[in-house]
Amino acid sequence: MIGAGIVGLACAEELVRGGHDVRVLDPDPGGGATRAAAGMLALGGEAWHGETDLLRLGVASARLWLEYAARLQAASGVNVDLRTEGTLLVGQDHDDLRQVRRTIEVLATEGIAFRELDRPGARADEPTLSRVAGAVLLPEDHNVNPRLVAEALLRLLGDRVVRTRATVLDGRVCLAEGTEFGCDAVVIATGAQARSLVPQVRPVRGETIRLRVIDPPSRVLRARVHGETVYVVPRSDGEVVVGATEEEHAEQPVATLGTVVRLLHAARTLVPGLESAEIVEITARHRPGTPDNGPLLGVTHSPGPVRQVLAVGHYRGGVLLAPLTAQVIRAHVEGGDIPAVARPFVPSRFGPHEISTAADHWKDPMS
């Protein structure tokens, strides 16, 4: 396994459960997009027309999460803060609300539960809201703290996680110091850093801001605020995560003045009580985007002595998709049956896929 973000860690833990001898190689476990992620397990909160396969993949993985979180907690002793209060999709003004309703139409066709709330209903449900136009309650859209999930998985994996850089060169796994790492198969789960190996992956910067506030919202708010999208995710420890921007560029992911101001301004318009919130942390990371916004899950046709399996390109869905990805990758490694819902996401949908073997991997500014 190369990459110890939430996807790599979940795959590794599942393979360990299958009796495999696993090592996870990463110079900074849990330090990539996992560290920025808000952890929304949105059944269809990010649904778009034309992405039905991806919506179904998300629904299938979301439905694994209750049991998955319970198992991780029991095994590791780390409470991953799974919250099941549901999510409010909020429209600040009537144009925003129209956009929210368009999302709901997609969910309805997939049988996802929701309940529309008018202005008084929305504010009765969530008194921290400002005078919003309306909202839709998604009772099954839960959330989890990705940093705690990573902590739980790291505890379960113990010294199987090795702090080192690694890549694939000429069909072999190579460590940063130039030595070869012997193995039968390698799972590549390097998030946005997969770009050097998998050209379909592109970096999409995301910024999240962690606040602390006396009176946080009681559940996740996903909103359009005068055309800006923003989410507000309360944690059980009083922290509130505000996100997230999306900017496509290949520079180092840093928090910029313009995006931080836009996010915070939208957040306080939605929830006026955030005005006096303490700013605890600003985090910018790259998400791994792909041409169809879906992940690449499966074996490659690359030559070489080591079987190569991709678990990359999870874009905005790494946390949501982690439990299902782990099962799918285990099936790919073991040559077992691939769940039907995951079959559209084989890497070969972009044509015969080979891991790039360019010699300049180490020069990649992302890695």
Residues that bind a second copy (CB under 8 A): 211, 254-258, 260-261, 264-265, 267-268, 274-279, 282
User: Which of 182, 250, 206, 197 has the alpha carbon at shortest distance from 25?
Assistant: 182
Interaxial angle between packed helices 318-334 and 65-76, expressed in degrees from 0 to 180 and rounded to the nearest 10: 80
Instruction: Give me the least distance between CB of 141 and a second copy, in Å please.
Output: 25
Residue nearer to a second copy on the CB measure, 176 or 254: 254
Q: Read off the tokens for 190.
A: 């390097």
Q: Residue 163 half-sphere exposure, CB side, CA atoms within 13 Å?
A: 5
Min separation Cβ 281 and a second copy, Å: 10
CB of 146 to a second copy, least distance (A): 22
Nearer to a second copy, 4 or 230 (CB): 230
The three-class DSSP label of residue 237 is coil
Instruction: Return the number of the residue (267 or 321) whose C-beta is nearest a second copy.
Output: 267
- Residue 269 is given by DSSP the state H
| Closest CB to a second copy among residues 185, 255 | 255
The closest of 13, 38, 37 to 24, measured between CA atoms, is: 13
CB atoms within 10 A of CB 213: 19
Complex with a second copy: residue 135 or 284, whichever CB lies closer: 284
As measured in angstroms, the least distance from the Cβ of 252 to a second copy is: 9
Closer CB to a second copy, 205 or 219, in the complex: 205
Nearest to 25, CA basis, from 165, 151, 154 = 165
In the complex, minimum distance from the CB of residue 100 to a second copy, in angstroms, rounded to a whole number: 24
- Tell me whether residue 179 or residue 276 sits nearer to a second copy (CB atom): 276
CB of 243 to a second copy, least distance (A): 14
Q: How far apart are CA 51 and CA 74, in angstroms?
A: 35
List helix spans (H) across 84-144: 94-109, 119-125
User: Helices 6-17 and 318-334, interaxial angle, to 10°?
Assistant: 40
Tell me how far, at minimum, the Cβ of 195 lies from a second copy, in Å.
21
Q: By C-beta, is 46 or 207 nearer to a second copy?
A: 207
257 in helix, strand or coil?
A: helix
* CA-based nearest residue to 39, from 189, 140, 147: 147
Cβ atoms within 10 Å, residue 354: 17
Residue 222 beta carbon to a second copy: minimum distance, rounded to whole angstroms: 19
Give residue 363's Cα distance to chain centre: 26
Asked if the bond preceding 244 is cis, omega within 30° of 0, the reply is: yes
